[in-house]
């Protein structure tokens, strides 16, 4: 495992990306990488905030071949940028947006090569040492402070090659990956960029978010196409009721996918849906076809081991054993079931459940378009008495929704308050951050006090 190529494509005319309807060849991609590498600032760390997925990928590759390390935080709040500046004082930002909105030194992404400017002779495909550190990926951690996790090239390649096999990506019939998630997030990083590089596939440069934009991207992409998305994006897409072009594959991650949603997605998109399980710390370690089974199948060489009541993952691309945040029940033959997150387990009046289970029950109520339970601040450490919940459910009155919930969950877990909203402030990966939920709850309480 001394080195790996940047991409598995070898034909100079192989399509590595599609951007605004134009196919971008391997030859052109390598020329763009050289152009960007030549203008990168004199620093060791790059914060690549490009929103165009192709520009992000070119900037990532340019950073890698020039020995720079990419920083991939989960957010770009001013507080996060301050933490990054302390972590890597030489960090500079590569952006295709407005640099005035960013507080760190910034370099604008240069103009890409025009088709006529691409050299006829293709440069050699770069190879990188397997041990080369190429990225620090940050999770928010329990305190909200970004926690860094190192990612070396060799381990990333082993991981995404295993993912390509698990997803059935065929280099002989290259697919185009359409991602609704940002490439800076670990899931988007691996499943829309790196897996394409290492599986002979292409990726679409856009990041469609709204249902109409997703449908348009599916309709304009040559077959075979794969949709790389989240449960939130899938639900909003299917609820919209618009015509959808069939695809070859649907991939989902970031949150457990309800059975009904998985089955509906397979029917509407006429494709198998594969769900990915993993974490920033471990990378991807398992898949399942959610419409057919609850059980997850581990990637080759990955092992799960129970130690003192907690499950640890090891082997394969994982450098050192990692404790898992989820409650895992191992079955047999490299398979397991998820029983909720350790941090989400709730005990009220001697009765136990998880926020994940409650969310599934809420989203399973007919007419609920979006929703989520929240454990308020102060309701922890054995003093849990009540939960809150946020819901988007046009046409359902509170009494009817509460009646439907009583048929699904124990009365001890009924949300008080149940807050109706026009939309939930989910982030780019479809998640509801805890601090966002707490702010919503405090705003609701303040509004009630003012009107009392």
Sequence ranges of the domains in the chain:
3-339, 349-451
What residue spans of 124-224 are helical by DSSP H?
Answer: 153-167, 186-188, 195-199, 211-220
Hey, which bits of 302-386 come out as E strands? 303-307, 310-315, 318-323, 326-330, 335-341, 345-348, 351-354, 370-374
Helix (H, G, I), strand (E, B) or coil at 311: strand
C-alpha 157/C-alpha 164 separation (Å) is: 10
The confidence score (pLDDT) of residue 190 equals 96
| Phi-psi category of residue 253: left, alpha or beta, with phi > 0 → left and psi -120 to 50 → alpha | beta
Which residues lie below 8 Å from residue 35, measured CB to CB, with a gap of 6+?
A: 110, 112, 113
C-alpha 230/C-alpha 235 separation (Å) is: 9
The confidence score (pLDDT) of residue 366 equals 87
DSSP state of 5: E
Q: Cis ω on the peptide bond leading into residue 387 (within 30° of 0)? A: no
Tokens of 105: 């030194």
CA 415 to each of CA 254, 350, 419, 420: distance values in angstroms, whole numbers, following the listed order: 24, 17, 9, 12
204-253 pLDDT, tens digit per residue, is 999 999 999 999 999 999 999 999 999 989 999 998 889 999 999 999 99
* Cα distance from N-terminal residue to C-terminal residue, the chain: 67
Give the residue ranges of the chain where pLDDT is below 50.
142-143, 381-382
Residue 215: HSE in the Cβ half-sphere, 13 Å Cα cutoff? 13
CA 255 to each of CA 11, 231, 359: distance values in angstroms, whole numbers, following the listed order: 37, 7, 11
121-146 pLDDT, tens digit per residue, is 888 999 999 999 999 998 865 445 67
Pairing of strands 335-341, 326-330: antiparallel
The yes/no answer on whether domain 349-451 falls in CATH 3.30.300.30 is yes
The confidence score (pLDDT) of residue 142 equals 47
Tokens of 59: 């900037």
C-alpha 426/C-alpha 443 separation (Å) is: 17
The sign one gets for the Cα dihedral 60, 63, 64, 69 is negative
Nearest CA-CA partner of 404 in 396, 412, 395: 396
CATH superfamily placement of domain 3-339 = ANL, N-terminal domain (3.40.50.12780)
In 3-state terms the chain splits into helix, strand, coil percentages (rounded to 5) of 30, 30, 40
């Amino acid at each position: 495992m001394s080195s790996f190529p940047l991409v598995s494509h070898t034909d100079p005319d192989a399509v590595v990306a599609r951007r605004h309807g134009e196919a971008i060849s391997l030859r052109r991609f390598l020329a763009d990488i050289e152009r960007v590498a030549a203008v990168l600032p004199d620093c060791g760390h790059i914060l690549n905030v490009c929103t165009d997925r192709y520009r992000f990928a070119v900037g990532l590759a340019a950073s890698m071949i020039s020995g720079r390390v990419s920083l991939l935080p989960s957010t770009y709040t001013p507080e996060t940028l301050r933490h990054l500046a302390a972590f890597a004082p030489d960090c500079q930002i590569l952006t295709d947006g407005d640099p005035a909105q960013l507080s760190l030194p910034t370099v604008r992404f240069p103009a890409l090569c025009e088709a006529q400017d691409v050299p006829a002779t293709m440069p050699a495909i770069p190879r990188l040492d397997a041990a080369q550190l190429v990225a620090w990926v940050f999770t928010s951690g329990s305190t909200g402070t970004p926690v860094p996790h190192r990612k070396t090239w060799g381990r990333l390649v082993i991981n995404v090659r295993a993912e390509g096999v698990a997803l059935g990506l065929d280099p002989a019939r290259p697919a185009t990956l359409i991602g609704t998630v940002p490439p800076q997030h670990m899931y988007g990083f691996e499943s829309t960029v790196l897996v394409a590089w290492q599986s002979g596939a292409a990726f679409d440069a856009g990041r469609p978010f709204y249902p109409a934009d997703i449908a348009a991207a599916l309709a304009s992409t040559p077959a075979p196409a794969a949709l790389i998305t989240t449960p939130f994006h899938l639900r909003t897409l299917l609820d919209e009721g618009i015509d959808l072009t069939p695809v070859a594959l649907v991939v989902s991650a970031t949150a457990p996918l309800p059975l009904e949603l998985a089955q509906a997605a397979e029917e509407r998109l006429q494709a198998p849906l594969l769900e990915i399980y993993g974490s920033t710390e471990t990378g991807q370690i398992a898949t399942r076809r959610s419409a057919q089974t609850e059980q997850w199948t581990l990637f080759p060489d990955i092992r799960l081991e129970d130690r003192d009541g907690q499950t640890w993952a090891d082997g394969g691309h994982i450098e050192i054993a990692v404790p898992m945040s989820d409650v895992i029940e191992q079955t047999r033959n490299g398979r397991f079931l998820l029983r909720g997150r350790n941090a989400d387990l709730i005990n009220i009046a001697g009765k136990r459940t998880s926020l994940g289970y409650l969310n599934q029950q809420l989203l399973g109520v007919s007419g609920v378009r979006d929703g989520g339970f929240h454990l308020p601040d102060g309701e922890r450490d054995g003093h849990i008495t009540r939960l809150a919940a946020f819901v988007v459910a046009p046409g359902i009155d509170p009494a009817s929704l509460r009646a439907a919930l009583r048929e699904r969950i124990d009365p001890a877990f009924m949300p008080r308050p149940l807050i109706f909203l026009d939309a939930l402030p989910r982030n780019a990966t479809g998640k509801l951050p805890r601090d966002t939920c707490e702010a919503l709850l405090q705003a609701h309480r303040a509004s009630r006090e003012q009107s009392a």
